[in-house]
Structure 1
Amino acid sequence: MKFSINRGELQAALTGAARVAAGSKTNLLACAKLEAGDGLSVEAADGDRSLRVEAAALVEQGGAALVPARRLLEIVNSLPDEAVEVAASAGSASVRCGNSSFRVPALNPSDFPGFPEVEAEQTLEVPGVVFAEMAKTAVPFAAKSVDDAEIPVLAGVLVERDGDVLRMVATDSYRLCRCEFPIGEGAPFSLVFPSGFMAEAASDCCGDVSIASSGRQVRVSSGGTVMTSRLIDGKYPKWRSMMPETVASSAVFRREDVLGALRMCAAGSGGKSPVTFVYDGAVSTWSSDGEDGSAVSHAACECDGSGRVKCSIRMLESAVKACDSDEVTIGLNGPMKPIIVTGGMCRNIVMPMRD
């Protein structure tokens, strides 16, 4: 195998491959498979996820090589922005660029697992910008991992197409995010993405996103990148029953005013104490009292009633930050009912604490 490629193209292809291979516990899966044909194909896998990136390259001799992914990326990162020549034979691969040359060990590419085939039982086409923005909003609300979650499926993000609306829902059982965006009529779609995989797919998308699922696997394609992942076992909770559509009272704030009040409460009380906020009329009061100190702040608002509730500063802050709008509405149905935070494409809830 022998090919030449732009250094930036090779770096981009190897970055995702090295990320996938980083979690591997075997030398085989810690490698990236480079295959030269019409261009260059780079593959990586960790047992649950697989990645394939296509890149333009000038191929002098077709073939394949299996090389340490992280080591090769480190080499490419150190190179000047010039053409890179990669060649491989049995047992080793070489990299040349300018006046520099490197040699790395290579394993037998035929030992590498084949790229998963996903027969599309349901499909979804999404503009890449929409997918990336919604994923960025929803993923932080999911449980960090299957092992950390009391209910493993909460380490996923529910993706639905409902008529002409694309919806993403994520919850860690203490807070919940629902974001929606109109994408036009299409076939119904429902799938729970592993949250880490969704974050990677969103960061790698470079154009419109095509999603397909079959059985226990999902495939995401965008530009020259294809990613697959195993799905999480379990059925997603009935989230609609957790999110009230009406409120007894609400207050409208400038988003930055709420975030400012929360920052002052965190700073004054040491950041670990909850915040209590009260609204009635045109002004709200935000207070936090902890062992390390206390804080009181005020923020202007427009109310249609009065309300009082206590909750985690960090969780309420995350719900407000997720709203992609200059104004947010905070609605209450009582001191121990879910707090509803609405703004832009998001409707989020945060569970309160006893006052």
Structure 2
Amino acid sequence: MKFRVERDVLADAVAWAARSLPVRPSAPVLAGLLIETGDEGLVLSTFDYETSARATLQAEVADEGRVLVSGRLLSDICRSLPNKPVEMTLDGARVSLTCGSSRFSLQTLPVEDYPSIPDMPAATGTVRSADFAHAVAQAVTAAGRDDMLPVLTGVRIEIEGDTISLLATDRFRLSQRELGWNPGTPDATLAALVPAKVLGDTAKSLTSGEVITIALSASGTGEGIIGFEGTGAGGIRRTTTRLLDGEFPKVRSLFPNEKLTTARIDRAALIESIKRVSLVADRNTAVQLAFSDGALTLDAGSGDDAQATESVPAEIQGEDLVTGFNPTFLLDGLGAIDEAVVELAFTQASKPVVISGIADDGADADEGGLFRYLLMPRRLLS
């Protein structure tokens, strides 16, 4: 194996492929990055039996071959190289890397023990990469982080014709984001439960090109695989991951069909007020929200402890109410909204709030897709 490639192209692709390497690999070879040269050019791959990453680059290939080296070490080396072409050559059990006057010799790992990279499923459709990355970033806000409840650590992707819905919940909050896309089959109806961390990292890493191709295997759950393909510096990048097994809760019905009390508030002002008031809130205690007389009054702290109170102007319709929420969860939802004005909609004080953005014309924001964030209230200290 022997090839020559531009330093920036190689460093970017190696860093992208190595980002998904396991911190504690179950086998030494899984810490490796597979380098292959052939008709496709230069191909860099990683795989941990769950998630794979594959970058195809244009390179001057002198000899075909394949080799496995430490992925993180190669990433560190490539990042530190001078801005000159890089040449890599396999010499026995070692790989020689030359860049200008810099020379490295790397020990290889047993490439014959490396697992086969899974094939990409058939393409299901395409979506604008920037729109998809933003939608995923909003949806993962509510995804669970408790590995004891693996189903809740995923984002449910529902495809219905030309609409993609992203749903996530950790039992205390729920996010829903919808966006349009270009399906391969106009009447396609598919669903998949994708690990939230993998989905978030992948969507964010594939924004160099204009579109992302989504490829979903027919099974939809369990042993199914979902793939994402986009373009990066110098070539094509592809990620696959196994879908989570289990039944995602039927959460759509949690969004109420009526609004008995609504409050429209400047988002930035509300965020800053919550941050200030929550400074005196004990861990795991709620910040109180009282809606009355054209203002939202926030309170935190109690008894002999530090206390804080602050009011924010609000356009309130419906009955006055007093409720409370985990301030961190509240800030997470507000931070995921793009619009300058947000609406907090209630059916009653003891029921969840639905938070969404309001467009400049006063209507529910729907440009580029609808994002809704449902948050359970917390018991207030007496």
Band of TM-score, shorter chain: over 0.9
Deviation readout 1:320-353 (Å, 9 max, x if unpaired): 1111111100011112111111114311111001
Aligned residue number for residue 235 of structure 1: 247
Matched, 1:47 2:53: no
Task: Please tell me whether residue 167 in structure 1 is matched to residue 180 in structure 2.
Answer: no
- In 2, Cα distance between the equivalents of 1:44 and 1:190? 26
* Aligned equivalent of 1:28: 29
Specify the alignment match of 1:17 in structure 2: 17
How far is 1:213 from its partner?
2.0
Conserved 8 A contact 1:266-1:272: no
Q: Output the amino acid matched with 2:307.
A: S
Equivalent positions of 1:190-269 (< 5 A) are 190-205=191-206, 206-207=208-209, 208-214=211-217, 215=219, 216-223=224-231, 224-269=236-281
Contact in 1 for aligned 2:121/2:227 (Cα 8 Å): no
Residues 121 and 225, structure 2, Cα contact 8 Å, conserved in 1: no
CA contact (8 A) 2:281 2:287 kept: no
Residues 1:281 and 2:293 are matched in the alignment = yes
Q: Which amino acid aligns with 2:192?
A: L
Residue 320 of structure 1 corresponds to 334
Is 1:311 aligned with 2:325? yes
**Any conservation in 1 of the 2:89–2:97 contact (CA below 8 Å)?**
yes
Kept in 2: contact 1:6–1:84 (CA 8 A): yes
1:89 pairs with 88, 91, 102, which one? 91
Which residue is 2:360 aligned to? none
Counterpart Cα distance in 1 of 2:339 and 2:120: 38
Secondary structure at the counterpart of residue 301 of structure 2: strand
Q: 2:257 is paired with a residue of what secondary structure?
A: coil
Who is 1:297 aligned against?
310
Query: Whole-Å Cα distance in 1 between the matches of residues 120 and 3 of structure 2?
Result: 30
1:240 deviation in Å? 1.2
Structure 1 residue 104 displacement after superposition: 0.6
Of 155-164 and 39-48, the range deviating more from structure 2: 155-164
Superposition CA RMSD, Å: 1.8
Pick closer, same or farther for the CA change 1:220–1:183 going to 2, 3 Å. Answer: closer
How much has 1:118 moved relative to structure 2? 4.3
Separation of aligned partners in 2, 1:337 and 1:194: 29
Whichever residue aligns with residue 276 of structure 1, its letter is Q
The aligned counterpart of 2:362 is none
Could you say which residue in structure 1 is the equivalent of 2:4?
4
Quick one: percent identity of the two aligned structures? 28
TM-score normalised to structure 1 length: 0.94
Match of 1:123 in 2: 124
Contact 2:126 2:181 in 1 (8 A): no
Query: How far apart are the structure 2 equivalents of 1:119 and 1:349?
Result: 34
- Indicate if the aligned counterparts of 2:30 and 2:48 stay in contact, CA closer than 8 A: yes
Q: For the Cα contact (< 8 Å) 1:285–1:296, is it kept in 2?
A: yes
Structure 1 124/235 Cα, relative in aligned 2: closer, same or farther at 3 Å?
farther
Cα deviations across residues 248-300 of structure 1 (Å, max 9, x unaligned)?
A: 11000011111011011112436653111111232111111157511101101
Distance across 1 between alignment mates of 2:79 and 2:337: 37
Tell me, which stretches of 5 or more residues in structure 2 are unaligned? 358-364
Q: Which amino acid aligns with 1:211?
A: I
AA partner of residue 48 (structure 2): D
* In 2: Cα distance, 1:69 partner to 1:164 partner: 38
Find the aligned partners of 1:163 and 1:309 in 2 and give their Cα distance.
39
165-174 vs 136-145, greater mean Cα deviation = 136-145
Whole-angstrom distance in 2 between the partners of 1:230 and 1:184: 23
- 1:139 and 2:108 are equivalent in the alignment: no
Q: Structure 1 residues 180-189 or 74-83, which shifts more? A: 180-189
SS at match of 2:131: helix
- Measure, in 2, the Cα distance between the counterparts of 1:129 and 1:5: 28
3-state SS of the aligned residue for 2:337? coil
Q: What's the CA shift for 1:193?
A: 1.1
Q: 39, 57, 60: which one pairs with 1:58?
A: 60
Cα distance in structure 2, aligned partners of 1:245 and 1:80: 60
> 2-side partners of 1:61 and 1:296: how far apart?
71
User: Given the two structures, how large is their TM-score scaled by the length of structure 2?
Assistant: 0.87
1:292-325 CA distances to partner (integer Å, 9 max, x unpaired)? 5111011011111222211111111111111111
Point out the more displaced range, 298-307 or 206-215.
206-215
The amino acid of 1:125's aligned partner reads T
Size of the aligned set, in residue pairs, is 351
Segments of structure 1 that go 5 or more residues without pairing to the other structure are: none
Query: What amino acid sits opposite 2:225 in the alignment?
Result: Q
